[in-house]
Structure 1
Amino acid sequence: MIVTASAVVLLGLLIWFLVRIRYLRLPDVLLSGTFGFLLAATGAAPLVQSVLTGVSTFLGQLHF
């Protein structure tokens, strides 16, 4: 499946807007899931995975 970057950016902006106005309900959660699925189909998936791994490693090393 080929997904254009513009579709991913458009869905990302829509999710950001919904979170910003604090109006995230079940259909919006489904939209967020669709965004994640489409993002995983793009070339950005390895970058997102490495960023998430780095953040989780950093948070795992924090001691309070």
Structure 2
Amino acid sequence: MAVTISLALLFGALLAVLIKSKTLGAGAAFVAAAFGYFLASTGAAPAINDFTAAVIAAIPNV
């Protein structure tokens, strides 16, 4: 679990740098996909799923 969390943080930081530098391409796509993959296996996944469901449920009420 510690390796997964550290990889999620690593990919998150790398993704933030790529977004800030406006670098778009295959490298950024790979980092984003890897970040999502590793983040999904952390304890944050249920909270992210709940937040996404709440936003989707709120859209028709806007």
**One fold, TM greater than 0.5?**
yes
TM-score, normalised with respect to structure 2: 0.78
Q: Give the number of the structure whose residues are more often helix, by fraction.
A: 2
For 1:58, the equivalent position in structure 2 comes to 58
Gaps of 5+ in 2: none
State yes or no: 1:17 paired with 2:17: yes
Once the two structures are TM-superposed, the CA of residue 29 in structure 1 deviates from its matched residue by 0.3
Aligned residues between the structures: 61
Identity %: 30
Report the Cα distance in structure 1 between the residues aligned to 2:32 and 2:51, rounded to whole angstroms.
Answer: 19
TM-score under structure 1 normalisation?
A: 0.76
CA RMSD of aligned residues (A): 1.5
Match of 1:40 in 2: 40
The runs of 4+ residues in structure 1 deviating greater than 6 Å are none
Counterpart of 1:38, as a letter, is F
Supply the distance in 2 between the matched residues of 1:28 and 1:20 (Cα, whole angstroms). Answer: 11
